[in-house]
A = this chain, B = another copy of it.
């Protein structure tokens, strides 16, 4: 910067002013400075800048160590949103959502001097870990829809998405709709379950007990196989539901696999709905009807919250929608 100042014949402070678009700089000197910058190929040192402004212009993201669809898409969308406002994104992963691991990541970001942290997890432990940090550092949690206190939130409206899926099945004439849940320590999983049961009850239907699952295809497969086995058992046979709403696409994929293997035809005998709209779900067999969260919007909203959190402004509405993707794994209930 000193060199630039010398070449342009001004003080270093004037160079700084030009760089920061300060209004009180005459057009003539501004031009001189800019040409000196171009001539010298100067670029401002953002570390030195961060030292004095106490702003690094970067935000930390804590996410999971796995390729789960939702978190991955959220990270990408968030990065896009951030970059379009000139911020950069630093990432840290945790293998498990225990309090210690999350706090370690937060400490890491605190040391690194980020302007704020986004935690992509609707996991209970993560929520707990974050609670004590919000007064030390702006924090946005992606997942919970409202935490009160100083933690800002952004989330897909899981509840509404689950209602959409359930209503879709009800409109197709289904009355015995089973729900396979995600892991119960995830808020997302509980919201989806609630959306399902509320919608069932409002339609005057009594839901079966949901089957507890996690986010994995193998679990879906196990559950599907079990359902088929029970339905086939001679005595006290428990009939297959006519429709299953799985908490995510992986579970749905496992169910599809189990049903196909057992010769249970989807959607003729059982309709299946997933959640997430993962890559390839349009080519499962049959193509999966699912709920597609608007991750792009989530990323933007998440950044909006971050900006608000940094500025100390009140939180904006953090909920984004999800849309039905009706494909071939659901159809009108047939009499059997």
Please list the residues of chain A having a beta carbon within 8 angstroms of any beta carbon in chain B. Answer: 43-48, 50-51, 56, 58, 65-67, 69, 72-73, 75-76, 79-80, 83, 88-93, 108, 110-113, 217-218, 220-221, 249-250, 253-254, 256-257, 260-261, 278-280, 282-285, 287
* Docked-complex contact B65 and A80, CB < 8 angstroms: yes
Contact of A58 among B65, B90, B253, B279 (CB under 8 A): B90
A257-B283, A257-B285 known; A79-B91 Cβ under 8 A: yes
For A89, the closest partner residue in chain B by CB is B91
B residues in contact with A50, CB < 8 Å: 47
- The smallest C-beta distance from A132 to any residue of chain B, in angstroms, reads 14
B residues in contact with A44, CB < 8 Å: 111
Contact of A253 among B72, B79, B254, B280 (CB under 8 A): B280
B residues in contact with A249, CB < 8 Å: 280
For A281, the closest partner residue in chain B by CB is B217
* Docked-complex contact A113 and B46, CB < 8 angstroms: yes
* Docked-complex contact B93 and A80, CB < 8 angstroms: yes
* Docked-complex contact A83 and B72, CB < 8 angstroms: no
Contact of A43 among B88, B93, B110 (CB under 8 A): B110
* Docked-complex contact A76 and B80, CB < 8 angstroms: no
* Docked-complex contact B221 and A283, CB < 8 angstroms: yes
- The smallest C-beta distance from A133 to any residue of chain B, in angstroms, reads 14
* Docked-complex contact B280 and A250, CB < 8 angstroms: yes
* Docked-complex contact B111 and A43, CB < 8 angstroms: yes
**Complex Cα gap A83–B93 (Å):** 9
* Docked-complex contact B83 and A73, CB < 8 angstroms: no
**Complex Cα gap A217–B43 (Å):** 44
For A221, the closest partner residue in chain B by CB is B283
* Docked-complex contact B58 and A67, CB < 8 angstroms: no
Q: Which of A56, A250, A257, A285 has the most CB of B within 10 A?
A: A285
B residues in contact with A83, CB < 8 Å: 92-93, 108
Q: Can you name 12 extra interface pairs (CB under 8 A) apart from A72-B72, A91-B91?
A: A45-B51, A46-B113, A47-B50, A48-B51, A58-B90, A67-B279, A80-B93, A83-B108, A89-B91, A217-B280, A253-B280, A260-B285
B residues in contact with A287, CB < 8 Å: 257
* Docked-complex contact A111 and B65, CB < 8 angstroms: no
